Amino acid sequence: MIAALKQGRTDIHGALRADDTDHFARALAQFGGMSMQESDRAFQVERAQTRLDATSTVLDVSHGATPARFLMAFAALANGTTTITGSARLRERSMADLAASLRAIGVANECLEREGCLPIAIHGTDCAQRDVRVRCDASSQFASALMLMLSFEDRAASIRIEGDAVSKPYLELTRRMLAEAGVAWSLREPGLYCREQGSIGCDRFDIEPDASSAGYFFALAAATRSKVIVRGIRRDSVQADLALLDPLVRMGCSIARHEDVISIEGAALRGVEADLADAPDCAPTLAALATLAVGPTTITGIGHLRDKESDRIAATCREAERLGAKAQSGPDWLRIEPAQHVREAVIQTYEDHRIAMAFSVIGAARPGIAIENPDVVTKSFPGWWQELDRFLACHGVATVGAPRTPSA
């Protein structure tokens, strides 16, 4: 989106190629005045006019909540009306807080089926009002979308976060990327971001490896008591899902961090307590590992997981129980008490990539684990199964076999 806000051409290298990024890139390319070229791990983005033209094509982002939220803000800067929709599950997930904030600064929009949800029509405007309030207790992406949108013009702006924002590190990640591109936002006081002078002027982005995907390899080391080295994530990275490393250390793993290398070595695991409010997507992975630990594991601060691709608290508990563990949950927490032995099971995925990958980690450590509908991983990690096969072969545990559906 930063590249699409800038006049001229921008090259993006080391890009994650997955359903979410591809749907977003192709949606951006539908705007009049935008072009997009894709290659294996790269995008070439070119904006040929200052004010883009909305497309008459309905932009369908499938399961992608991030693309939907960013497109809502991006469409506010185009001439005409843009309609955004997605899968049945995405149409259930609330976009109300972002829609309300856009309306408050003069961006007319209406939900076409159910209030607060996709499909939504965004009517582009000059957006003269640039001081906005937004609630982020459902998603920090609402504020990130507004920060990106308000970086388009070199004019003062402010964003006031109301309530207790979830996944706060992603706001810092957005702020840092904009700073690297030439636009400074300062945190004047808790919850108040102010735009400083500067225009987007970066012609190239080299994308840091995705810590969310790396987390499954950290978990594989923990589950199989082996060593994994992940390269390319800087020591000063603010990616939220690096928060998984702390509970893994407390579970018994050894971790070393260097300038752009993280190494982790697994060991016998013990249960822990972990607050994952800033990194909720790690919760299914940690809960899956808890089925291999000695003692219970309690994960808190994760209430917003109920409004993800699935109700991840409920899904995680059901699948942990399928493996033989005892699971309890509340509005914003879950607790796993492992069984003496992990049972063979076919794991249900609920159309959720993170449930599939989290529980396939257990299949690398215990035989008889299969994953129903394994293709859901294409949302964020299309090459997951090939990389898992490579891990198993490299670490000499290929006899367990990469988990798949029974028919695959």
Whether 212 and 380 have beta carbons less than 8 Å apart is answered as: yes
User: What pLDDT, in 10s, does the model give residues 372-400?
Assistant: 999 999 999 999 999 999 999 887 664 44
Given a cut of 50, whether residue 224 has pLDDT beyond it is yes
Give the angle subtended at the CA of 396 by the CAs of 390 and 402, to the nearest 5°: 50
Q: What is the pLDDT of residue 397?
A: 60
Q: Is residue 264 within a helix (H) or strand (E), and if so which, with residue range?
A: strand 261-265
Contact 117, 88 (CB under 8 A): no
> What is the CB-side half-sphere exposure of residue 66 using CA atoms within 13 A?
16
In the DSSP assignment, the letter for residue 150 is T
pLDDT > 90: percent of the chain: 94
Both tokens assigned to 346:
């076919």
- Over residues 310-323, the pLDDT tens digits come to 999 999 999 999 99
Taking only the tens place, the pLDDT of each residue in 159-191 is: 999 988 889 999 999 999 999 999 999 999 999
For 228-284, the pLDDT digits (tens) are 999 999 999 999 999 999 999 999 999 999 999 999 999 999 999 999 999 999 999
d(CA 192, CA 155): 17
Q: What is the pLDDT of residue 406?
A: 44
Q: Are 162 and 134 within 8 A, CB to CB?
A: yes
Specify whether the CB–CB gap between 280 and 305 falls below 8 A.
yes
Residue numbers annotated as active site: 281
| Alpha-helix runs per DSSP H in 113-168 | 141-149
User: What pLDDT, on a 0 to 100 scale, did the predictor assign at position 404?
Assistant: 59
Per-residue pLDDT band at 132 (split at 50, 70, 90): very high
Is residue 377 within 8 A of residue 402, CB to CB? The reply is no
Query: Which pLDDT belongs to residue 408?
Result: 38
Mean pLDDT of the chain: 95
Give me the pLDDT at residue 403, please: 59
What would the pLDDT profile of 189-208 be if each residue is shown by its tens digit? 999 999 999 999 999 999 99
In the prediction, which pLDDT does 405 show? 53
Residue 8 has pLDDT above 50, yes or no: yes
Alpha carbons 51 and 38: distance in angstroms, whole number:
23
Q: Phi/psi class of residue 351: alpha, beta or left (left: φ > 0; alpha: ψ in -120 to 50)?
A: left
CA distance 76 to 82: 8
